[in-house]
Amino acid sequence: MRAAVLREFNAPFSIEEVTFLDAAPGRVLVRTGASPFCSTDVTNWRGELGKVPPAILGHASMGVVEDVGAGVEGIRVGQRVVVPGTPECGVCFFCSRGRPDQCSELFDRPGVSATSDGYLQVATGADGAAIKAAGLVGGYAEMMNVHATQVFPIDSDLPDEHIAMLGCGVTTGFGAVVNAARVAPGDTVAVVGLGHVGLWAVQAARLAGASTIIGIDPIASRRELAGQLGATHVLDPGVAARAVVLSLTGGHGADHVIEAAGPPEAVPEAFGYSRRAGTVVLMGVKKAGSTVTLSQAAVSVEGRTIIGVQNGNARMRRDLPLLVSLLESGRLVAEPIVTTRYPLEGMDAALAASRDHTDVCGLIVPALSGRGE
């Protein structure tokens, strides 16, 4: 099996033959269909999120079950499955409290130290190297060896690329609006950052019945896409955007501001678009250790609610069937957000296009290898 292995930070991916470990008890082998190239992996590639090579990146994916380890229930060989970036063990402290977005399988891994990121070996390189799936998934390879708590069977004929987006972008952007902000009919919403998460947030705000949906991004093509997907107004943050947002919201600011941009500077910017006693949903993280400074009064005296969101505060078993039905009925659309499909050999190009913001969402499709796309 071939994999795009991160052997060294800030260097081209190594496309190499590896041998995947057999499905151990509790684990599942999944033949990869498609994996979104996420901007988080640009940060991983730079070594800014604590991953340790050699590792396979790609923290969300989908595919077909190839083999199932002992003790795995409810997952069969041949099933189509979503492999999201966030496991849902169902029994840890956080899952028990209805917050699987914080599942201990992901956030409380043992073995994390200065020289280890705590991820398990999933494959062996031709040179004998123990290769891990950084982020637990390892979607940039022809096969994935994942824990059963991260495998969700799906009954749908949607294209692989669209299903793959359910593992990170869709759940995050949709969940920010529906699960976190709880946007209601008639509300006003501003979305800061119109990358693939922001564009899902725009669509979710439209479905939730928001009266005014303001998309804010410096890239004109992304603003245009947001307009097609439901934004009622689009703005370049460079041109007095705050004054325009205030004028579009009766002078108050938006009821809900969804930050889907990433850099720390986007947080005070998002606050500037929000009204007193409004909601600000924060999703970005530039790198481990990034900090943000906010006006104290804007939070306390002015009564704003800050909601942090990881994977859209989703509960996969509840939310996946809903999202699939919305995609199948065309009320959510994925294809305009898919910019480019890449074979494994296209990993470096996918990285450059994500880093340079020329792709909204590139997808790695291992089966394209050898077909000369």
5 binds Zn ion (CB under 5 A): no
Q: What angle do CA 242, 268, 225 make, to 5 degrees?
A: 60
> Contact with Zn ion (CB under 5 A): which of 95, 248, 261, 323?
95
Q: CB neighbours of 198 closer than 8 A, spacing ≥ 6?
A: 173, 191, 192, 215, 217, 222, 226, 258, 260, 261
Q: In terms of Cα–Cα distance, which of 24, 19, 34 is closest to 81?
A: 34
Q: How many residues bind Zn ion (CB under 5 A)?
A: 7
CB 3 within 8 A of CB 21: no
How far apart are the C-alpha atoms of 164 and 166, rounded to whole Å?
5
Length of the chain: 373
42 binds Zn ion (CB under 5 A): no
Shortest reach from residue 249's CB to Zn ion, in Å: 30
327 binds Zn ion (CB under 5 A): no
Shortest reach from residue 92's CB to Zn ion, in Å: 3
103 binds Zn ion (CB under 5 A): yes
Which CB atom, from 89 or from 246, has the smaller least distance to Zn ion?
Answer: 89
Shortest reach from residue 244's CB to Zn ion, in Å: 30
Cα dihedral 177, 318, 308, 221, rounded to 10, equals: -40
323 binds Zn ion (CB under 5 A): no
Residue with tokens 């850099």, as numbered in its chain = 263
213 binds Zn ion (CB under 5 A): no
Which CB atom, from 107 or from 209, has the smaller least distance to Zn ion?
Answer: 107
Q: 357 burial class (0-12, 13-18, 19+ CB within 10 angstroms)?
A: middle
DSSP-derived letter for residue 335 is: G
Binding segment (CB under 5 A) for Zn ion, from list 38-46, 182-190, 336-344, 347-355? 38-46
Shortest reach from residue 19's CB to Zn ion, in Å: 27
Which CB atom, from 48 or from 67, has the smaller least distance to Zn ion?
Answer: 48
83 binds Zn ion (CB under 5 A): no
Q: CB neighbours of 168 closer than 8 A, spacing ≥ 6?
A: 36, 38, 59, 60, 84, 85, 311
Binding segment (CB under 5 A) for Zn ion, from list 83-91, 285-293, 324-332, 357-365? 83-91
Shortest reach from residue 103's CB to Zn ion, in Å: 3
89 binds Zn ion (CB under 5 A): yes
Which CB atom, from 92 or from 210, has the smaller least distance to Zn ion?
Answer: 92
> Contact with Zn ion (CB under 5 A): which of 5, 28, 30, 38?
38
Shortest reach from residue 156's CB to Zn ion, in Å: 21
> Contact with Zn ion (CB under 5 A): which of 5, 18, 29, 168?
168
In this structure, the number of other CB atoms found within 10 A of the CB of residue 152 comes to 22
92 binds Zn ion (CB under 5 A): yes
Q: Which residues of 176-191 are buried (b: 16+ CB within 10 A; e: fewer)?
A: bbbbbbebeeebbbbb
Which CB atom, from 150 or from 274, has the smaller least distance to Zn ion?
Answer: 150
CB 188 within 8 A of CB 255: yes
Binding segment (CB under 5 A) for Zn ion, from list 164-172, 269-277, 302-310, 351-359? 164-172
**Residues near Zn ion (CB under 5 A):** 38, 40, 89, 92, 95, 103, 168
